[in-house]
């Protein structure tokens, strides 16, 4: 600490007097648009230099942000955590749970928008059921049924050229919401039905919620001064989701078990959190996986060979079946490396620390920009290439090692990646169709998940006319 450089000398955009750096996001010019945070991260990476760190200081309503562009630095910060990590608190969600709807949430804050002891206490009430092996096994048939229904729906959506419609991303949101609801609440929400009024209301609210988050959580917090349009949309959506969770909670699903143990309120709050973090991330991961496979014929053909060899075609899928599909898992992991659903993760450090040679004061928010590191030549040779073989064990890859270098990072599961549903939709689609992409390269925006901008007009050609 004594030999570390002063925090004020850490590179980063220079704040203005009074306005700080918030004006950059408020004006929304390149590279500081909230929808273009991927470009912002590359800009900060250039300022930090190889393996260094950059900061964005003096933000209204936020602590100083520190971005270490080094895997070793990230690992050290994680290792110093205690049993109650301090994550970044989403101010608007905290306001909703602890102030606006305090009469409902009370002392049960949930898992999102909270940290420390309250988070630990709530987690202790739900974690056993969430991670239990039997819960995972029970989820497979449920997800299988939802995905089968969605595949049938996809066939009705294709046009005369066998291309999916402009709003296919919305369809993926419907599938993801139906999947999360079926698993968590033990009931079908009806999102795949065109004539379900409540399902349409759910979709409307989920779009409103996710598109309002960037302006509320990343831009100047004007909602603290008056009820902005985004704030009203945000609150309406959360109220709707909460009502759905209360109304649709059944005696099935993972939340039903928790309700018996800890009460309906705890189960409802957990269901709400699962909807908030599960739907957009799952849909985004599925969209990107389909795109990567559609634009990489070699990987698509190898995956189809694996599916043809090991996947049952006349019975319900089981966990043991999934264990036989390592290349499918590798395809999803490689997609999430190149196009992660969230560009970074973060921690609020509880003591003064030295990061990349600089003294970083207690209370600073350290953002781990894994989108940058997972696309860095330093950690992944030829990072722009889609090579699922990176994630296979050495004895599974053999011949590919000479032409497809394996990442030098640890090949453990990426914590927090929700790719169970993504595996299922990818497997079902590639088992039935050859998927192709006949347009320019997709561009992406932050909404706050990392999603494609252009219509997802995938072309689906049946591999066997009898499979539909």
Per residue in 339-389, pLDDT (tens digit) is 999 999 888 888 899 999 999 999 899 999 999 999 999 999 999 999 999
Q: What is the pLDDT of residue 250?
A: 83
Residue 409 clears pLDDT 90, i.e. is over it:
no
Residue 152 clears pLDDT 90, i.e. is over it:
yes
Q: What is the pLDDT of residue 397?
A: 47
Residue 30 clears pLDDT 50, i.e. is over it:
yes
The total number of structural domains that make up the chain:
1
Let me know if residue 153 belongs to a domain.
no
Let me know if residue 58 belongs to a domain.
yes
Let me know if residue 174 belongs to a domain.
no
CB burial class (10 A; 0-12, 13-18, 19+) of residue 190?
A: middle
Secondary structure (3-state) at 220: coil
Q: What is the pLDDT of residue 38?
A: 94
384 beta partners = none
Residue 163 clears pLDDT 90, i.e. is over it:
yes
Q: What is the pLDDT of residue 321?
A: 80
Q: Is 285:418 a contact under the CB 8 Å cutoff?
A: yes
Secondary structure (3-state) at 313: coil
Per residue in 202-226, pLDDT (tens digit) is 778 877 887 788 778 767 678 989 9
Tokens found for residue 144: 């299988």
Let me know if residue 259 belongs to a domain.
no
Residue with the bigger pLDDT between 336 and 276: it is 336
Let me know if residue 293 belongs to a domain.
no
Let me know if residue 360 belongs to a domain.
yes
User: Where does the pLDDT of residue 82 fall: very low under 50, low under 70, confident under 90, or very high at 90 and above?
Assistant: low
For tokens 């409540």, what's the residue? 198
Let me know if residue 201 belongs to a domain.
no
CA angle 342, 376, 329 (to 5 degrees): 55
Secondary structure (3-state) at 302: helix
Q: What is the pLDDT of residue 218?
A: 67
Percent of the chain's residues with pLDDT above 90:
46
Per residue in 283-327, pLDDT (tens digit) is 999 999 999 999 999 999 999 999 999 887 666 677 778 788 999
Domain around 362 = 1-113+344-373
Q: How long, in residues, is the chain? A: 468
Residue 19 clears pLDDT 60, i.e. is over it:
yes
Residues 6+ apart with CB under 8 A from 43: 31
Tokens found for residue 20: 């700080």
User: Where does the pLDDT of residue 433 fall: very low under 50, low under 70, confident under 90, or very high at 90 and above?
Assistant: very high
Q: How far apart are CA 46 and CA 353, in angstroms?
A: 23
Q: Is 359:340 a contact under the CB 8 Å cutoff?
A: no
CB burial class (10 A; 0-12, 13-18, 19+) of residue 340?
A: buried
Q: Is 68:349 a contact under the CB 8 Å cutoff?
A: no
Let me know if residue 78 belongs to a domain.
yes
């Amino acid at each position: 600490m004594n030999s570390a450089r002063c925090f004020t000398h850490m590179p980063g955009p220079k704040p203005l007097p009074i306005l700080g750096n918030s004006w950059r996001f408020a004006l929304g010019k390149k590279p500081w648009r909230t929808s273009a945070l991927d470009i912002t991260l590359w800009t900060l990476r250039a300022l930090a230099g190889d393996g260094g760190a950059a900061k964005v200081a003096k933000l209204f309503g936020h602590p100083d942000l520190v971005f270490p562009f080094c895997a070793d630095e990230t690992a050290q910060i994680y290792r110093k955590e205690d049993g109650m990590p301090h994550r970044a608190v989403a101010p608007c969600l905290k306001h909703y749970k602890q102030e606006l709807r305090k009469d409902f949430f009370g002392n049960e804050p949930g898992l999102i928008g909270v940290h420390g002891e309250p988070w630990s206490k709530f987690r202790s009430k739900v974690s056993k059921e969430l991670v239990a092996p039997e819960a995972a096994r029970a989820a497979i048939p449920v997800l299988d049924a939802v995905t089968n229904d969605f595949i049938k729906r996809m066939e009705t959506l294709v046009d005369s050229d066998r291309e999916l419609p402009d709003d296919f991303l919305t369809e993926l949101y419907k599938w993801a919401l139906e999947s999360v609801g079926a698993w968590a609440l033990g009931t079908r929400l009806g999102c795949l039905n065109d004539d379900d009024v409540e399902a349409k209301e759910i979709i409307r609210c989920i779009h409103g919620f996710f598109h309002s988050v960037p302006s509320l959580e990343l831009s100047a917090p004007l909602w603290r001064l008056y009820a902005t349009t985004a704030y009203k949309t945000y609150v309406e959506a959360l109220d709707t989701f909460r009502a759905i969770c209360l109304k649709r909670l059944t005696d099935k699903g993972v939340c039903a078990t928790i309700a018996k143990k800890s009460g309906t309120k705890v189960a409802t709050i957990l269901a709400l959190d699962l909807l908030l973090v599960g739907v957009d991330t799952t849909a985004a991961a599925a969209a990107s996986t389909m795109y990567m496979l559609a634009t990489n014929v070699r990987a698509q053909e190898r995956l189809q060979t694996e599916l043809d060899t090991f996947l049952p075609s006349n019975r319900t899928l089981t966990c043991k079946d999934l264990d036989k599909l390592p290349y499918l898992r590798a395809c999803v992991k490689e997609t999430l490396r190149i196009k992660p659903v969230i560009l970074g993760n973060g921690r609020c450090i509880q003591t003064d620390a030295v990061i990349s040679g600089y003294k970083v004061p207690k209370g600073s928010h350290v953002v781990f920009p894994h989108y940058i590191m997972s696309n860095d030549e330093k950690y992944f040779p030829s990072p722009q290439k889609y090579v699922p073989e990176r994630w296979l064990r050495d004895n599974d890859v053999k011949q590919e090692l000479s032409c497809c270098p394996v990442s030098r990072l640890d090949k453990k599961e990426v914590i927090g990646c929700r790719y169970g549903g993504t595996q299922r939709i990818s497997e079902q689609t590639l088992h039935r169709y050859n998927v192709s992409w006949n347009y320019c390269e997709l561009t992406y925006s932050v909404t706050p998940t990392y999603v494609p901008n252009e219509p997802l007009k995938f072309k689906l050609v049946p591999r066997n006319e009898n499979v539909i």
